[in-house]
Structure 1
Amino acid sequence: MGSFPGHVLPGTLFLLVGIWHIWSSVVRYASNPKSFQVRVWNPVPGFDGRLKYLELYVIAVGTFIDMCIEFFYSTHLKFFVHGVLNPSHMNDFEHAGMLLMFFVFSLVALLSEKTSFLPLPEGALCLISATAFCAEYLLFYFHSTTHKGLEGHYHLLLVLLVGLCILSIVTGSLMPTSFPADLCSGIAITLQGLWFYQTAFTLYGPMMPDGCRLKESMVTCHSQDKEVRGQLLANFQLFSLVFGVLVAVAGSYIFAAKRFGHSGVMSLHTAEDRLDQN
């Protein structure tokens, strides 16, 4: 079982990175669609280059802090019991391992970009990022904490979003000039962050469905009908988030096209219109 802060903290990290990825992808494509390249991370412009690697630093610091919370604070430093890993905190060890993968990705990306010790192409960084998401996928799919009922349904939907992250990032590494793949990656990461928030507010906050409750670290419903109703509500919540994100992406693209739009964007649309007419 988790907690409200345990979902909000990683949710905030995914949400910030995802929103920045969407905006950067849209601006880069609107500015010059012919030279567009997939990026697994996006530099922050301006400020004389001092904030260029801010995204990677946010990932590194955020995952390190969350990893320390999971590994040291949540376990109360009781790592071993009778010579084996403490079975009462296996979920904390698993969460720390997942966060370690994202921390490693940020370090590898920083070494690749700022030094000559580990020069890697963008496609390789994409695959390393996809590996971190694979670790997250395996964690939630084969979690030592058994998720059942309504809680299990929320985590199943989370697993699907993580799978979408993996698929979009791998596609971007194979198709390095694909704007849809790069944009889909940002959308998937954003949705994952929003779903962490939604899970926190639903299972551990004020949005618990009628007829269900959190008691002794378990979500239980009074009847099967109440549980099914809660699962249908979760489906509707995910649909609402997807719809809202897509509307926001469309709005950001319209704004970016007007503000940073390159003549190539209009020429591409004009060519597509001519093909449709023919």
Structure 2
Amino acid sequence: MGTLVGHVAPGFAFFALGLWHLFNHIKLHALNPSSYTSLPWFPTSKFRYLELVLIMVCSSISISMELFIGPVAHQPFDPDGTIPSNHLHNFEHSAISMTFFVYAAFAVVLDMINGIHPNAKSGLTQLLGAVAFGQQLFLFHLHSADHMGVEGQYHLLLQSAIVVCLATSLMGIGYPKNFIVSFTRSLSILYQGLWLMVMGYMLWTPGMIPKGCFIHFEEGHQVVRCSSDEALHRAKSLVNIGFSWALIGVVAFAMSVYLVLVMFYGGKVEYATLEHHEDEKFELGDDDLEDVESQKGQRKLHGEPKSFIHMGKGYAIKDIER
């Protein structure tokens, strides 16, 4: 991962995943503002598990690059079977990818099993995602590579985005109907990907290196070193400014996307719901009505067949309208 491609490729994957979740959460909330329930992942019409399969594919490629393709000998061990010091970071990066692979694989398995309650499926999937982000935070915080310089500043700021991903994933278990939690989680995943791409270009493009600093080859990979404490301080300050500018840009982008999607999707379902409220609230409690709308939304997203109870409630509403 200690290369331009090694940061840009996974960064783009996180960015695309965050953007996909941001779009779908906003759309889902705009269509069902009163019965919104967040989803840990979103199925597609062509192939239900496309998102999860892509996560597993990207994770597998990352593991292969770190352990088998990237090393000169195409395997990460010394002749005596031990792990050399310059390959420790390869194992750390691959462990992160393995955890995300486990998350996606078990998310597919949990979705395929019919005997598990939907709330348990969602909660367990969110927990697996939180474990993946927790693993990522742990390994980046205690990284074996020397991150005391400019690269260390980039990784320190990256950890702040990972902390938000972890916190919102855990909050999503207890507050599945909170749109702001899902919105923030999607935005933090997107921002984590953007910052990884920025790291790749800024640390391994000679023309992007701050004045007074240079690229130096150490322990099997390139690192940025500075000629003086003043140059190092200036370089770190530039990293902080870049992080702030990127954050402003991402927030402005996310709010713009939200406003556009709300104007496009908002009101299409809400007006119909308001029309039903006046007639149905005399026969159905507010909680029951919310359950009906929630079940409609869940069936639409997950493609679950209508049960006898669901059909019964549907007929009751039709009778009231007559």
TM-score normalized with structure 2 length: 0.77
Query: Any idea what the Cα deviations from partners look like across 1:77-115, whole Å, max 9, x if unmatched?
Result: 142443422333111111111100000101001111234
In 1, distance between residues paired with 2:188 and 2:22?
A: 10
Residue matched to 1:257: 262
Contact 2:67 / 2:76 at 8 angstroms: preserved in 1?
A: no
- 1:149 deviates by 1.2
Residue matched to 1:27: 27
Residue matched to 1:187: 187
In 1, distance between residues paired with 2:113 and 2:202?
A: 44
- 1:116 deviates by 4.2
Residue matched to 1:270: none
Residue matched to 2:148: 148
Give the gaps of 5 or more residues in structure 2: 274-322
2:242 partner amino acid: Q
Residue matched to 1:64: 60
Query: Any idea what the Cα deviations from partners look like across 1:172-216, whole Å, max 9, x if unmatched?
Result: 111111101000000110110001011011111232222211111
* Alignment CA distance shift 1:258-1:236 (3 Å): same
SS in 2 for 1:177: coil
Residue matched to 1:88: 86
In 2, distance between residues paired with 1:218 and 1:50?
A: 44
Query: Any idea what the Cα deviations from partners look like across 1:114-169, whole Å, max 9, x if unmatched?
Result: 34487742111111101011111111111111211111111111111111110111
Tell which structure's C-alpha radius of gyration is larger. 2
In 1, distance between residues paired with 2:233 and 2:115?
A: 54
* Alignment CA distance shift 1:9-1:240 (3 Å): same
* Alignment CA distance shift 1:34-1:4 (3 Å): same
2:105 counterpart (104, 107, 131): 107
Give the gaps of 5 or more residues in structure 1: 268-278
Contact 1:91 / 1:145 at 8 angstroms: preserved in 2?
A: yes
- 1:171 deviates by 1.0
1:240 counterpart (242, 245, 249): 245
Query: Any idea what the Cα deviations from partners look like across 1:32-65, whole Å, max 9, x if unmatched?
Result: 1111112221223xxxx32332211111111111
Q: Does 1:55 align with 2:56?
A: no
| Residues 39-54 of structure 1 aligned to structure 2 (within 5 Å) | 39-44=39-44, 49-54=45-50
- 1:30 deviates by 0.9
Residue matched to 2:14: 14
Deviates more, 1:210-219 or 1:116-125: 116-125
Count the aligned residue pairs.
263
Q: Does 1:218 align with 2:223?
A: yes
Residue matched to 2:316: none
In 2, distance between residues paired with 1:86 and 1:227?
A: 29
Choose between structure 1 and 2 for higher RCO, CA contacts under 8 A separated by at least 6 residues.
Answer: 1
SS in 2 for 1:213: strand
Contact 1:18 / 1:189 at 8 angstroms: preserved in 2?
A: yes
SS in 1 for 2:39: coil
In 2, distance between residues paired with 1:152 and 1:253?
A: 34
Contact 1:79 / 1:85 at 8 angstroms: preserved in 2?
A: yes
* Alignment CA distance shift 1:117-1:80 (3 Å): farther
Q: CA RMSD in A?
A: 2.1
In 1, distance between residues paired with 2:260 and 2:160?
A: 30
TM-score normalized with structure 1 length: 0.89
In 2, distance between residues paired with 1:116 and 1:108?
A: 14
1:96 partner amino acid: S
Residue matched to 1:162: 162
Percent identity between matched residues is 30
Q: Does 1:209 align with 2:205?
A: no
Contact 2:111 / 2:121 at 8 angstroms: preserved in 1?
A: no
Residue matched to 1:176: 176
Residue matched to 1:275: none
